[in-house]
A and B are shown apart, each in its own frame.
Chain A
Amino acid sequence: MKLTGSQILFKALREEKVDTIFGYPGGSVIDLYDELFHQEGIKHYLVRHEQGAVHAADGYARATGKVGVCLVTSGPGATNTVTGIANAYADSIPIVILTGQVPTHMIGKDAFQEVDITGITRPCSKHNFLVRKIDDLGRTIREAFYIAHSGRPGPVLVDIPKDILQGTLEETELFMEIHLPPEPPKEPIDEACAAALTMIRTARKPVIFAGGGVLRGKAVSELMTFANCIHAPVTASLMGLGAFPGTHPRWLGMLGMHGTYYANMAVSHCDLLIAVGVRFDDRVTSKVAEFAPHAKIIHIDIDPVSINKIVKSHVSIISDCREALHRLLSMAGGEVLLSADQTREWLEQIEKWKKAVPLSYCRSAKIKPQYVIEKLYELTRGEAIITTEVGQNQMWAAQFYRFDHPDTFISSGGLGTMGFGLPAAIGAQVAFPDRLVVDIAGDGSIQMNIQELATAVHYNLPVKVVILNNGFLGMVRQWQEMFYGRRYSQTEMKQALDFVKLAEAFGAVGLRATKPEEVEEVLRKGLETPRAVMMDFHVEPEEQVYPMVSPGAGLTDMKLGNLRRDAD
Chain B
Amino acid sequence: MSIEERTITILVKNEPGVLSRVAGVFSGRGYNIKTLCVAETTNPEISRITLTSNADADFTEKIKKQLDKLVDVVDVLDYTGERFLKREMMLIGLRITPDRYAELLQAVNTFGCRIIGMQPDYYIIETSGRRSENDAVFKYFQTFDVEMMNRTGSIALPRHPQKYSA
Contact = CB atoms under 8 A, between A and B. Distances in A.
A122 B65 contact: no
A184 B20 contact: no
Measured as residues with beta carbon below 8 angstroms from the partner, the interface class of chain B is 10 to 19
Interface in B10-45: 13, 16-17, 20-21, 24, 28
B71 A122 contact: no
B74 A182 contact: yes
A244 to B, nearest CB: 28
A379 B16 CA distance: 55
Interface string A95-136: 000000000000000000000001100110011001000000
A147 B21 contact: no
A184 B24 contact: no
Interface string A182-194: 1010000000000
Contact of A305 (B21, B66, B73): B66
A123 B24 contact: yes
Nearest to A118: B17
A92 to B, nearest CB: 12
B69 A122 contact: no
A118 B70 CA distance: 14
Contact of A122 (B13, B21, B62, B68): B21
B126 interface: no
A181 B24 contact: no
B71 A181 contact: yes
A496 interface: no
Contact of A127 (B16, B28, B66, B71): B71
B72 interface: yes
Nearest to A156: B71
B65 A305 contact: yes
B66 A181 contact: no
A130 B66 contact: no
Contacts of B74: 181-182
A557 to B, nearest CB: 28
A304 B21 CA distance: 19
A304 B65 contact: yes
B75 to A, nearest CB: 8
Interface in A448-471: none
Contacts of B20: 119, 122
B69 A303 contact: yes
Nearest to B28: A123
The range of chain A's interface size is 10 to 19
A147 B71 contact: yes
A127 B69 CA distance: 10
Interface in A303-344: 303-305, 307, 309
Nearest to B13: A181
Nearest to B17: A118
Given A122-B24, A123-B24, A184 B17 contact: no
Interface string A122-161: 1100110010000000000000000100000000000000
A122 B74 CA distance: 18
A182 B74 CA distance: 7
A147 B71 CA distance: 8
Contacts of B62: 305, 309
Contact of A181 (B16, B21, B73): B73
Contacts of B28: 123
B153 to A, nearest CB: 23
B24 A305 contact: no
Contacts of B17: 118-119, 122, 130
Contacts of B72: 181
Interface string B129-155: 000000000000000000000000000
B162 to A, nearest CB: 16
Contacts of A147: 71
A180 interface: yes
A192 B161 CA distance: 31
A303 B69 CA distance: 9
Most B CB within 10 A of own CB, among A119, A123, A130, A307: A123
Query: Which one of A122, A123, A182, A184 has the greatest number of beta carbons of chain B within 10 Å?
Result: A184
A184 B71 CA distance: 10
Given A119-B20, A122-B20, A123-B24, A184 B13 contact: no
Nearest to B76: A184
B24 A304 contact: no
Nearest to B25: A123
Interface of B: 13, 16-17, 20-21, 24, 28, 62, 65-66, 68-74
25 contacts: A118-B17, A119-B17, A119-B20, A122-B21, A122-B24, A123-B24, A126-B71, A127-B70, A130-B16, A130-B17, A147-B71, A180-B71, A181-B13, A181-B72, A181-B73, A181-B74, A182-B74, A304-B65, A304-B68, A305-B62, A305-B65, A305-B66, A305-B69, A307-B65, A309-B62
8 tightest CB-CB pairs across the interface, nearest first?
A127-B71, A305-B65, A304-B65, A184-B68, A181-B74, A123-B24, A123-B28, A122-B24
Given A305-B62, A305-B69, 5 more contacts: A119-B17, A181-B13, A181-B72, A181-B74, A184-B68
